Amino acid sequence: RMPSLLEYVSYTCNFMGILAGPLCSYKDYITFIEGRAYYRAQPSHNGKEVAQGERVDPSPKAAVTQKLLVCVLSLLVHLTVCSALPVGYNIDEQFRATASWPTRVAYLYVSLLAARPKYYFAWTLADAINNAAGFGFRGYDGNGVARWDLISNLRIRQIEMSTSFKMFLDNWNIQTALWLKRVCYERATFIPTVQTFFLSAIWHGVYPGYYLTFLTGVLMTVAARAMRSNFRHYFTEPPQLKFCYDVLTWTVTQIAISYTVVPFVLLSIKPSLTFYSSWYYCLHICGILVLLLLPVKKTRSGETAHKNLQTSPSQKSNERDSSLGQNSFSTTNSISSQNQEVGFRHWSPQP
């Protein structure tokens, strides 16, 4: 049903998220307001959860305390480390002229690593505020422990240990990515990845650095998808080989993410292009070469596909039928959707 005016205003202006979010769906919000989120859910015979009549009142104290500790740590790191490792030093003339390439790569990673805690602070604090008010209860895990991650916006451990672009983006700015998926990606009739990234840039503002970051992000996302689909299956066994593969992909992913988001931090066009030119646009060139040389599986009807082999009509039909499972985003407002396999998630560092 359509919400009433009072319900609509309550959803859009609720005090818990009016400053920094996180964004939540109206369905989740009204379920919380009406008190229906606190009825114990049990798995049924088919694996789906069904609501039972027993009302529970889980305490958010442990979750709120843990998240506030993360906030304090993130704020301390931001106030101490971030000022000592400015991202702008990557384009310092003396640094570029004297530093070796390994030093420049290491500083690029460390400086962008130091820039992330301010986002961790804002998003985790917003999540803790909602949890303290009782919003964000997802249910219980297999051990009977209450889960308070219904509207969480990031997963720090997965972000820092990401071994692919997909894994990084799946765990960053989760709720905004869900919104972009609903309003743009699922409705786009052609090149949905490009359209979604471009909408994200417009949503952030008018700084040229946003557009450079998101346009670069399109290239990096598609190239990373091609690399992963073509090579990952060769390195799953034995465990020692998989470990070496994970170390290599972690290194490449962290460097590529850092390279991509420098303009987002620098904002202006001149310093952003100075940075990319100082790196000789090397990752842009590598991404283009990957797309030219490697076959890329079709992930959505209407999106450009590159294949070396001709496929039959039945194969194409099967691809279209399975394209939903390979979408660029994963939803997070249900337990099953949080684990679904997807190829891409929106990058949006601004809280």
Report whether 9 contacts 33 (CB < 8 A): no
Report whether 75 contacts 117 (CB < 8 A): yes
Give per-residue burial for 80-92: e unless 16+ CB within 10 Å, then b: eebeeeebeebbe
Q: Is the peptide bond before 263 cis (omega within 30 degrees of 0)?
A: no
Pairing of strands 146-147, 39-43: unpaired
C-alpha gyration radius of the chain: 22
What pLDDT shows up at residue 322?
Answer: 40
Regions of the chain with pLDDT less than 70: 39-56, 297-351
- For the chain, what is the largest distance between any 2 Cα atoms, rounded to a whole number of angstroms? 69
What pLDDT shows up at residue 346?
Answer: 42
What pLDDT shows up at residue 145?
Answer: 87
User: Distances from the Cα of 189 to the Cαs of 184, 194, 196, 201, 254, in angstroms?
Assistant: 10, 11, 12, 19, 32
Report whether 162 contacts 254 (CB < 8 A): yes
CA distance 158 to 306: 30
CA distance 177 to 180: 5
User: Distances from the Cα of 155 to the Cαs of 55, 99, 274, in angstroms?
Assistant: 29, 34, 32
For 110-160, the DSSP string reads: HHHHHHSHHHHHHHHHHHHHHHHTT----EE-TTS-EE--TT----HHHHH
What pLDDT shows up at residue 335?
Answer: 39
Task: Render pLDDT for 66-76 as a digit per residue (tens, 0 to 9).
Answer: 999 999 999 99
Catalytic residue numbers read 173, 204
User: Distances from the Cα of 6 to the Cαs of 9, 34, 261, in angstroms?
Assistant: 5, 14, 40
CA distance 255 to 267: 19
Q: Please, what is the end-to-end C-alpha distance for the chain in angstroms?
A: 31
